[in-house]
Amino acid sequence: MKFININMTDKTLRIKDVPQAYMGLGGRGLTSTVINAEVPPKCDPLGPDNKLIIAPGALSGTSLVNTSRVSIGAKSPLTGTIKESNAGGTMGAALGRLGITAIIIEGQPTDDKLNTLVIDQTGTPCLVPADELKGMRTYAAAGKLLNEYGEKNSILIIGPAGEYKLKSASIQATDVDNRPCRAAGRGGLGAVMASKGLKAVVVSQEGKNADAIADPEAFKEAAREFAQAIKAHPMTGQMLPALGTAGLVAPVNSMGAFPSLNATQGVMKGWEKISGEALAELIGKRGGNASHQGCSQCIVRCSNEFVDENKNYVTSSLEYETIWAMGGMTGIDDLDIIAKLDYLCDDIGVDTMNTGVGIAVAMDAGRFGFGDGKAALDLVEQIAEGTELGKILGNGPDAVGKHFNHKRVPTVKGQSIAAYDPRGMQGNAVTYATSPMGADHTAGNVIGEYVTGALDPLKPEGQVEASRNTQIAMAAVDCTGLCLLASFPLTTPEGGMAFLKVMNAKFGLQLGPDDIPAMGIRVLKEELAFNQKAGITKEQDRLPEFFYKEPLPPHNKVVLITNEEMDGALNF
Amino acid sequence: MGMDVILPDGARISDLLAHLEIPEGSGYLVSMDNRVKKPEDILKQDAVLHILPALAGG
Ligand code: SF4
């Protein structure tokens, strides 16, 4: 249990015990609590007063399966709000095994030199000059670092988009095959990392200093039960391993809620060509891997390795949200082009969702035709080249809309919506509008209620409550390091009970079922408090006007949730 | 892609799933006219149905 504090102004590094106020926190709970307590809310997100906080989940580094998420938090240059974006791969587990609760990076160098933070297998940190990595894309730079420090390291890294301090810049994380293809994509955290003069973080995966477990025997037993619950659940046991998240293309289109052609249609013409089924078939035919393990200790294997006709690696993992942003929104129905766009974004270090939506806005504005894959590839390349248009795209859909004077821009607080149209899934309208993170599906995706038929997605009734409950649950899950996609068994009695037992055995607690949502509420309160102090008002908890005015085919609905209802969503 | 399925008048979604030997609780959803249907809902003449993995999240 230790903090590593790094001040980039004078390059001092300190290892200290976790302060009492932060004891027991992990992941998003920790990043958000520290930011609310220590970051001046009105600070410049790219200035010296902002802090970049890297925290594994509370269960990361234990033997529990699927617990290698790492949360990265800061005040966001994109949304102006508090931000947590988490990534899979190997970093969460690596930090957990070293007993590192958080890395807190503050201050700002006075020169424009870049550094790499290296943490060895004893947990000792040091800063190393990284000027030779300047301008490098993430695959090449990560490869160079792994050559230098050894394969058994985990890496967080920024690409050219981060170095340009663009508002959609991501922080890329290496997967189990050492590729920087997992992303803390949202909120422009790559720009914050660059503003600290940090190109990469290299952490040994060979740590043997994980925090003690209060009751190791009970933990082992409960962890086994939870793994069984994952295997037994149809979603984590069968569907995600077979289709990955791309399996959502079919259900969301057949519900008429797949925002297409810059959110003017709810069903994409030709969606079958980019569905999870088509993706798995294509990968299978070419000899790629449609059920790949992306992250440490994962038994779900939702990831994939997309290969070209000659079986050469193109990208990993082609996910639903990227297929939507780069395919549905742009009208590009060619998986090969979408896969290349995914790779480019990872390599340049930019959020695939904000970028795909930005391209769609440019297309809708008439700058390019919908479906023009060549133009999309060229545009994304321009981000790395640093052209004027590239920088506009790299700053997100709002910047693109402003540049082309185009009003249909599907963002909230500057961040693009996700692959669920708020008019076709009214609960997600509430989440997009009210999440402290800006429009964000991982903050509270209500789709589970619709696919099970528990809630009518097109009627306003019950949506606020569904969004609230999901936002609370997600805030709690994000504290633990558990992958969101492995969290479905929490809703079954066996899975939920096993998980409670895991938490109690780890921390020597007597938590009951109500304590998990209480944890989520506590995190959301910290985040809302920060946003309020930062000057974010209720008037910003709104969707863009067109969602209230332009009915979405085929259901021809607009967003039906009133402002008063939105305001009550997170009124704790 | 697709297949024709003929069921008696008044057949329900649950009858369709039984006909296709898809066990209940296996995590599939049926949509008809872009709406998710419940097992007890009655099928419409000539309706286009999708039987899909009930995936959530992502
Ligand atoms: S389910 Fe997917 S995202 Fe989650 S841990 Fe496994 S590979 Fe990573």
B26: chain A residues, CB-CB within 8 Å:
234
Name the pairing type of β-strands A153-157 and A171-173: antiparallel
Whether B5 maps to a domain, the answer reads no
Whether B6 maps to a domain, the answer reads no
Q: Do B34 and A484 touch (CB under 8 A)?
A: no
The amino acid at residue A467 is S
Interaxial angle between packed helices A335-348 and A352-364, expressed in degrees from 0 to 180 and rounded to the nearest 10: 120
Q: Which of A133, A101, A258, A151 is nearest to A198 (CA)?
A: A133
Q: Do B54 and A251 touch (CB under 8 A)?
A: yes
Q: Is the pLDDT of residue B57 over 60?
A: no
Domain hosting residue B24, numbered range: 13-53
DSSP per-residue codes, A279-328: HHHHHHHHT-EEEE--STT-SS--EEEEE-TTS-EEEE---HHHHIIIII
ipTM of the complex: 0.80
Distance A185 CA to ligand 1 centre (A): 16
Q: Which residue of A has its CA nearest to B40?
A: A453
Whether B44 maps to a domain, the answer reads yes
Name the residue at shortest CA distance from atom 2 of ligand 1: A302
- Determine the distance from the C-alpha atom of residue A423 to the mean position of all C-alpha atoms in its chain, rounded to a whole number: 23
Beta bridge partners of A548: none
A427: chain B residues, CB-CB within 8 Å:
none
A445: chain B residues, CB-CB within 8 Å:
56-58
Q: Report the predicted TM-score, pTM, of the whole model to 2 decimal places.
A: 0.96
Whether A483 maps to a domain, the answer reads no
pLDDT reported for residue A128:
98
B3 at interface of A, judged by CB pairs closer than 8 A: no
Distance from CA of A8 to the nearest CA of B (A): 35
In this predicted model, what pLDDT tens digit does every residue of A334-372 receive, in sequence order?
999 999 999 999 999 999 999 999 999 999 999 999 999
pLDDT reported for residue B54:
75
Atom of ligand 1 nearest to the CA of A296: 5
Domain hosting residue A149, numbered range: 2-204
DSSP per-residue codes, A47-114: STT--EEEEE-TTTTSS-TT---EEEEEE-TTTSSEEEEEE-SSHHHHHHHTTEEEEEEES--SS---
B51 at interface of A, judged by CB pairs closer than 8 A: no
Whether A180 maps to a domain, the answer reads yes
Q: Which residues sit with their C-beta closer than 6 Å to ligand 1?
A: A 66, 88, 293-295, 298, 300-303, 483, 485-486
pLDDT reported for residue B26:
72
Q: Which residue of A has its CA nearest to B32?
A: A254
Whether A133 maps to a domain, the answer reads yes
B2 at interface of A, judged by CB pairs closer than 8 A: no
Whether B3 maps to a domain, the answer reads no
A555: chain B residues, CB-CB within 8 Å:
34
Whether A17 maps to a domain, the answer reads yes
pLDDT over 70 percentage in chain A: 100
Name the pairing type of β-strands B28-32 and B49-53: antiparallel
Q: Which residue of A has its CA nearest to B27?
A: A234
Give Cα separations from A558 to A423, A459, A572 (angstroms): 5, 10, 28
**Phi and psi (nearest 5°) for A256?**
70, 30
Total domain count, chain A? 1
Total domain count, chain B? 1
In this predicted model, what pLDDT tens digit does every residue of A185-241 receive, in sequence order?
999 999 999 999 999 999 999 999 999 999 999 999 999 999 999 999 988 999 899
Residue A144 maps to which CATH number?
3.60.9.10
The whole-angstrom separation of Cα B25 and Cα B40 is 14
Whether A28 maps to a domain, the answer reads yes
Whether A265 maps to a domain, the answer reads no
Give the mean model confidence (pLDDT) for residues A364-384: 98
Place of tokens 């999708």: B50
Whether B2 maps to a domain, the answer reads no
A432 token code pair = 């997009």
Give the mean model confidence (pLDDT) for residues A24-51: 98
Burial category of B2 from C-beta neighbours within 10 Å (exposed 0-12, middle 13-18, buried 19 and up): exposed
Whether B43 maps to a domain, the answer reads yes
Q: CB of A69 within 8 A of CB of A183?
A: no
pLDDT reported for residue B45:
85
pLDDT over 90 percentage in chain B: 12
